[in-house]
Structure 1
């Protein structure tokens, strides 16, 4: 049985933190492949177009044969739910033991997801701990155990583990803010996101004036 992982998100834009997280999961489990699933219409978020986000994701993962991108959400109408993503991907990848890569903040909300109690048992959860703001691994573990207890109260089990990822203080929101700030500077000054994203992604953002007042 093959071991595959789903890594879903807005990826607006994809950055080195995402790639480091995926690479860590690839070797820690180990996994044969990680399937990146960009969200088509992220709820409660305003993102650049799906096409731009997919193109940046392609540029970021193209050199790693263990990374692949699924556009499965494009063919889905109505609300997009995580459990539908897993069910649909299972039809393309039969005989698979599934894992789901997720950040701690997102994992904490799992019991409130659409059919979250059912989804919890359908895959193993690979969690990126939150180590910012003075929070340590023990506190992160406590949060996960609280989620586990909530599920067990309704007779649902869950398997999870932390990913041993180095602390990287980069986020998509930080990159968007830096790009917006740099939009009023001269071209020679627009170096603030260098080394926060892969160079092809940085070039794409610059070429299309993404996250600035001149965004396409």
Structure 2
């Protein structure tokens, strides 16, 4: 049975950290593909124009044939819920084994997700640990291999806590930690740099950077 993963998010904007996580999952699990799902209306986040975010993802993943952009283009009026996304994709891609790529912070909220009793057992959960922050010359030497190991150990402990919370709700879960390199890039950091007029080169793919510049995104927020 072919293995397919879902990577959902606001992607405001998509950046190299997202791409590294997706590629790690692809190789670590031997996946057929990763389906990228930009949220129309995230349940708990503000996201700017869906079309801008979707087009930036399309640009970012264009060179990887194993990365697929979710086909839905219909404007949603209700918040996006993961259970609906999974059901739609299961109809489009039947007879697959499903995985869900998720950051550790979002994974910790899983015991409160809508319809979690149906969603959680339907997928294997691939958890990306929190990245190390971008370093400066004064802090670079302090980030050691042992520091990275401590981050991994803490991530495993936190995931076990989530599994315990779900078990108390009689919800079984299959999860594993992604072995991602520590890249401290976030969408909020990129938006902050844009507001300050700072360069975002090497934080996002060149095509995404050109799109942001062309459309004057994230200025004056």
**What is the match of residue 196 of structure 1?**
203
Match of 2:214 among 188, 203, 207: 207
Counterpart-to-counterpart distance in 2, 1:73 and 1:105: 28
SS at match of 1:125: strand
Q: 1:73 to 1:154 in 2, by over 3 A?
A: farther
Counterpart-to-counterpart distance in 2, 1:142 and 1:179: 35
Find out whether 1:166 has 2:173 as its counterpart: no
Deviations 1:166-196 (A, max 9, x none): 00011000000100110xxxxxxx5x10000
Counterpart-to-counterpart distance in 1, 2:58 and 2:154: 35
**What is the match of residue 87 of structure 1?**
87
Q: 1:28 to 1:11 in 2, by over 3 A?
A: same
Counterpart-to-counterpart distance in 2, 1:48 and 1:18: 18
Match of 2:164 among 133, 149, 161: 149
Q: Indicate if the aligned counterparts of 1:16 and 1:196 stay in contact, CA closer than 8 A.
A: yes
Deviation larger for 84-93 or 43-52: 43-52
**What is the match of residue 122 of structure 2?**
122
Deviation larger for 167-176 or 129-138: 129-138
User: Deviation of residue 138 (structure 1)?
Assistant: 1.4
Counterpart-to-counterpart distance in 2, 1:151 and 1:112: 9
Q: Indicate if the aligned counterparts of 1:40 and 1:73 stay in contact, CA closer than 8 A.
A: no
Q: Indicate if the aligned counterparts of 1:72 and 1:85 stay in contact, CA closer than 8 A.
A: no
Counterpart-to-counterpart distance in 1, 2:175 and 2:105: 14
Deviation larger for 192-201 or 116-125: 116-125
User: Deviation of residue 73 (structure 1)?
Assistant: 6.9
Find out whether 1:175 has 2:190 as its counterpart: yes
- Correspondence 1:1-216 to 2 at 5 A: 1-72=1-72, 74=74, 76-132=76-132, 136-182=151-197, 192-213=199-220
User: Over the residues paired in the alignment, what is the CA RMSD in angstroms?
Assistant: 1.7
Q: Indicate if the aligned counterparts of 2:40 and 2:75 stay in contact, CA closer than 8 A.
A: no
Counterpart-to-counterpart distance in 2, 1:87 and 1:47: 23
Number of positions where the alignment pairs a residue of Structure 1 with one of Structure 2? 206
- Gaps (5+ residues) in structure 2? 134-146
SS at match of 1:121: helix
- Gaps (5+ residues) in structure 1? 183-189
Q: Indicate if the aligned counterparts of 1:8 and 1:39 stay in contact, CA closer than 8 A.
A: yes
Counterpart-to-counterpart distance in 1, 2:166 and 2:86: 19
TM-score, normalised by the number of residues in structure 2: 0.88
User: Deviation of residue 47 (structure 1)?
Assistant: 2.6
SS at match of 2:122: coil
